[in-house]
Amino acid sequence: MSRYVGRFAPSPTGPLHAGSLVAALASWLDARAHAGAWLVRIEDVDTPRTIPGADQTILHQLASCGLYPDAPPTWQSQRTSLYQRALTQLQADGMVYPCTCSRKDITDAWAALGEQRPRNSDLIYPGTCRNAAHVKSPFAWRVRTEQPHRSTSITWTDRRLGSQSQDVETAVGDFVVQRADACFTYQLAMVVDDAEQSISHIVRGEDLADNTARQIWLQGCLNVPTQKYLHTPLVVGPNGEKLSKQNGATALDSSQPLHALNDAALVLGLSSAQGSVAEALLAWTQQWPFSKA
Ligand code: GLU
Ligand code: ZN
């Protein structure tokens, strides 16, 4: 096996909560169990959603839990020239096109086709601007899923969830790689960074599993290698919904790191640990259940 390089890639839209610590702990343990390196990447590419200072809070919370990265953390906001280079490559290859559609334009286009599509964050793009002769400014860049020699039918194996498949063209449609406000999207930035940082294994929350097929497909467009994936169980709140910053999950209490780590370990099926944070991390590394893949 080539060298194991893992990462934890939080978006600084708020402090870590019990759900995000599960992904952080799992990615750290997986790297340790493989004698690999563990990196931290602050995903602040969506500048309007970035909360000033949240990056430092997250790094402090990780440190209080004994989760230190093996190299200095990176910030996506300082790496936009890499994303621009990838976009330029997609433009040169004719794989992207400008699009001015708003969310309403997209639902209207589906209605005109006689189909009602749900108004949610996963609105499938109907391809309206694919062959448009001219578009107004400002516009987003969408990647063209309909390509003659590149299938959008993606299958991949998750180390916990098993075999997965998705047809990106029908399930997602042409997706945005640079928004009209010039922000590069998570999908593009993540694929570029995972390749540039030689990430071999991705360990993250199950809520992101649905993004995997489009990311693997985009890796093919950019001609970069793919990773091994492990999606960790989500933490649900009292209302049965997954914990997220959006539904008001409370920040981790950095003064009680062993308590927070024990909660995260239980979600991962590890037994609760006593003693110091360092002793707990060592014990869990030794019983880590996903060490083979
Ligand atoms: N930045 C993403 C998030 O916090 C995670 C990205 C990833 O692990 O691929 O939801
Ligand atoms: Zn459009």
Write down the pLDDT at residue 118. 58
* Per-residue pLDDT tens digits for 246-291: 676 788 888 999 999 999 999 999 999 999 999 999 999 999 998 7
Write down the pLDDT at residue 203. 98
**Which protein residue has the closest C-alpha to ligand 1 atom 6?**
9
Indicate the Cα dihedral angle 48, 52, 55, 57, nearest 10°: -140
Write down the pLDDT at residue 121. 54
- How far apart (Å, rounded) are the C-alpha atoms in residues 22 and 267? 7
SS3 call for 89: helix
Copy the structure tokens of residue 75: 């910030």
In sequence order, which residues have a C-beta less than 8 Å from that of residue 255 and are 6 or more positions away? 64
Nearest residue to 63 via CA among 273, 265, 260: 260
List of the chain residues with pLDDT < 50: none
Q: Which of 5, 8, 11 for mutating ligand 1's site (highest number of atoms within 8 Å of CB)? A: 11
Nearest 5°: CA angle at 208, between 216 and 5? 65
Write down the pLDDT at residue 9. 98
Q: Is the CB of 9 under 6 A from ligand 1?
A: yes
Nearest residue to 215 via CA among 239, 235, 231: 231
Write down the pLDDT at residue 292. 60
Question: In sequence order, what E strands does the chain have?
Answer: 5-8, 37-42, 74-75, 96-99, 140-143, 153-158, 162-167, 176-178, 201-205, 228-232
Nearest residue to 257 via CA among 68, 122, 7, 2: 68
Q: Which of 186, 229, 230 for mutating ligand 1's site (highest number of atoms within 8 Å of CB)? A: 186
Contact 182, 158 (CB under 8 A): no
Q: Is the CB of 209 under 6 A from ligand 1?
A: no
Report which bound ligand comes closest to the CA of 135: 2
Q: Which atom of ligand 1 is nearest to the CA of 190?
A: 9
Q: Is the CB of 193 under 6 A from ligand 1?
A: no
Report which bound ligand comes closest to the CA of 16: 1
Contact 125, 174 (CB under 8 A): yes
Write down the pLDDT at residue 92. 97
Write down the pLDDT at residue 147. 87
Q: Is the CB of 46 under 6 A from ligand 1?
A: no
Contact 173, 208 (CB under 8 A): no
Orientation angle between helical segments 212-222 and 186-196, nearest 10 degrees: 60
Beta-ladder partners of 259: none
DSSP H or E stretch at residue 286: helix 277-286
